[in-house]
Amino acid sequence: MGGRCAYDRPMFRHIVLLTFTDETTDEHLDDLVGMLGRLPGLIPSIRRYEFGRDAGLAEGNAGVGVVADFDDVDGYLEYRDHPDHQAVIATMIRPFLAARSAIQHEF
């Protein structure tokens, strides 16, 4: 059971925190954020998409975070499996990833 917010109907949210290896460069993370920024224009099921690099204010934080909202679970699954999203994961995330944490929930 999730909390409620000021939306007029239930929606579905995906949150992911990505921690990268120490060898991952700032330039790579900037490129990743740029690629994430293109996904809402490529995947119709995305209703709201927020992402960014950590501000560096606390030791041990993840390096990049994403919050993505969808109308329903099917919208999330479309995003999860979409070829453009999968390409970002395969080329920009997985080879550089040290840790990942995620949650999906209705709100």
In sequence order, what are the residues at sequence separation of 6 or more whose Cβ sits closer than 8 angstroms to the Cβ of residue 104? 12, 13, 14, 15, 76
pLDDT at 13 over 90: yes
Look over the chain and give the mean of its residue pLDDT values, rounded to a whole number.
94
Element (H, E) at 31: helix 26-42
Q: Is residue 21 part of a domain?
A: yes
Based on the structure, what is the number of domains in the chain?
Answer: 1
The arithmetic mean of pLDDT across residues 68-83, rounded, is 98
Residue 94: give the domain boundaries: 12-106
Give the CATH number of the domain where residue 67 resides. Answer: 3.30.70.100
Binned at pLDDT 50, 70 and 90, residue 51 comes out as very high
